[in-house]
Each structure stands twice: as C-alpha cells, then as structure tokens.
C-alpha cells in the first residue's frame, strides 16, 4: 500500500469553567497532528475485528464503507461517537481513549483508513439510470446536495463533508432516516435539507447517490482484493 501523509487538523472545543456567576465563553483549540500511517495500521487492527481489514462495510448496510473516506470526516465521527454526540453504544467503548488511544492515535488511524481502496461493487438502489426515479433523484441531488457534497459526490476534507460515492445504499438510507427522525444530529443545513424533502424524494436522491461512480484510482481492482497488511 502506498502511504500518503497529510497533516490533520483537529478542533477541540473546551469549555472553560469559571467560578461564581461569570459567563464562560467557549475556548476553541486547534491542534495539528502529523499522522503516522504505520501506527495507524497497528491501531486499525482493533477496528478490523468488526469493520474487517478492507473497511468495505456490508451490502446490507449493517456497516458503512469507511475505506477511502476523508480523514476529517472520519475523525469527526470518532470524536462524536466518543462523546456520545453520535449515538452508537456498541462502538462507544472502542473509541474511548483507554481502547484506541489519544488524539494522535485517532489521527493515525483515520489517515490509514483514508488510504484504503474502496469496495469495487458497493450496493446500489433499486432504480437504474433510465428510470424516472433515477432522473428525479439526479435533479434533487444537483439542487440540494451538490453544493456541499460536490457534483461527483466527492465531499470535501477541508470542510469535513463526507464523500458519498461508494457508500452502500441501505446504509445511507438508514442514516437519513435517523436524521429525519431526530435520532442522529447533524449540522443544521443538512438537517434542514432532509426535513424539507419527502420520503419519496429522499429515496430518489439516495438512489442517485448510490450510482455515483467511484473513481478508478480509488477502487480496489476486484472483489477478491484483500488488505495484505492483515493477511
């Protein structure tokens, strides 16, 4: 595997607590870590016991595709699950400092995951590209999603916006349902978009997303490809 290395900026919000009745202003600390991919690989072994060495997730959506996701998106999820902001009871103990380690370890492991090639045949929605539903989803995607997630669904590492191409259709569907029912908290813009669309429109747009092509250089060559770091 080719290791590429980006420095990873981490924003930590610290609430300074003052005595008596003073109003405490939030203090934002920006920390930057130089990821160590070798250590990231070692730490990923903990993750691999559920996410498997390839990080491809499941076609039925029980696990997401994490391989190749932007590192800032991944670290945001780890921090949100660690704090309980994103509810995931079964993953919670794995991302605590006592199991996975401190910020440096988080930086190392997300950098490693972002280098993994993606599933060559992730699961797609029910409507192929000649259908009316597909086309309706395309129109909605371009109106409502593309400005943040990009025309190709490429996301944006700098703004921690998830890459959408390659994600399993049932996983996106489940997450969107959680957002819609208020069980998963996301930023207010995303929240508003999801609330405005009908269930039918959401299904169409998720269907369209599931057909966004994964660039060849980010895809594993075949379904039989195995992450030799772990075999």
Partner 1 sequence: MTKKINRRTFLQSSAALATATISGQGYAQSTSGESPVIGGKFSSPAPIPAKKGPRVVIVGGGWSGLTMAKYLKKTNPKFDVVLLDKNQQFVSCPISNVWMADQVNLDFLTHSYVEAAQNNDYLFLNATALELDRTSKILVTTLGSIKYDYLVVAPGIDYDYNRIGVDNPEDEYALRMNYPAGFSSASEIMAIKHKLHNFKGGTLVLTVPSGNYRCIAAPYERACMAAAIFKKHNIRGKILLLDMNSDIRIKAEGFKKAFAEYYGNIIQYEPSAEINGVRVVDKEIETDFDSYQFDDAVIYPPVRASSIIEEFGLSDESSLQKEAAIDPFKYHLVDDESVYVTGDSRSQPFSKSGNTAHSEARYVAEVISAHADGKQIEWRSPQTMCFSGVRIDPLESMSIIAFYKYDEAEKSFAFDRSHLMDKWNERAGQAGLAWAEGMYRDMFYS
List of residues contacting partner 1 (CB under 8 A): 42, 45-46, 48-50, 52-53, 58, 60, 62, 87, 89-94, 96, 98-99, 170, 230
Rounded least distance, CB 49 to partner 1, Å:
5
Pick the closer one to partner 1 by CB: 120 or 150.
120
Rounded least distance, CB 140 to partner 1, Å:
24
Contact 87, 134 (CB under 8 A): no
Rounded least distance, CB 118 to partner 1, Å:
16
User: Which own/partner pairs from 9-13 qualify as long-range (CB within 8 Å, at least 24 positions apart)?
Assistant: 9/72, 10/75, 10/103, 10/106, 10/107, 12/103
Pick the closer one to partner 1 by CB: 91 or 124.
91
Distance CA(231)–CA(224), nearest Å, equals: 13
- In the numeric block, the tokens 């609330």 are attached to 195
Rounded least distance, CB 139 to partner 1, Å:
27
Distance CA(184)–CA(81), nearest Å, equals: 11
E strands along the chain, which residues? Answer: 8-15, 26-33
Pick the closer one to partner 1 by CB: 161 or 167.
167
Pick the closer one to partner 1 by CB: 28 or 49.
49
């Amino acid at each position: 595997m080719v290791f590429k290395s980006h420095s990873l900026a981490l924003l930590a919000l610290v609430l300074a607590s003052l005595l008596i009745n003073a109003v405490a202003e939030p203090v934002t600390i920006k920390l930057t870590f130089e990821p160590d991919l070798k250590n990231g690989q070692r730490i990923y072994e903990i993750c691999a016991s559920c996410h498997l060495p390839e990080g491809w997730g499941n076609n039925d959506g029980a696990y997401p595709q994490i391989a190749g996701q932007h590192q800032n998106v991944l670290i945001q999820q780890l921090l949100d699950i660690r704090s309980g902001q994103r509810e995931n009871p079964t993953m919670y103990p794995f991302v605590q400092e006592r199991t996975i380690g401190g910020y440096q370890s988080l930086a190392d492991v997300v950098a490693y995951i972002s280098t993994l090639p993606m599933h060559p045949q992730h699961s797609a929605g029910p409507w192929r590209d000649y259908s009316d539903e597909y086309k309706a989803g395309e129109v909605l995607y371009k109106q409502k999603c593309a400005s943040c997630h990009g025309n190709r669904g490429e996301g944006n590492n700098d703004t921690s916006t998830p890459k959408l191409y390659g994600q399993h259709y049932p996983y996106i569907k489940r997450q969107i349902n959680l957002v819609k029912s208020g069980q998963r908290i996301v930023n207010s813009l995303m929240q508003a978009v999801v609330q405005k669309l009908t269930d039918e429109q959401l299904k169409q747009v998720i269907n369209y997303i599931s057909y966004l092509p994964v660039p060849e250089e980010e895809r594993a060559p075949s379904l039989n490809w195995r992450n030799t770091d772990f075999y």
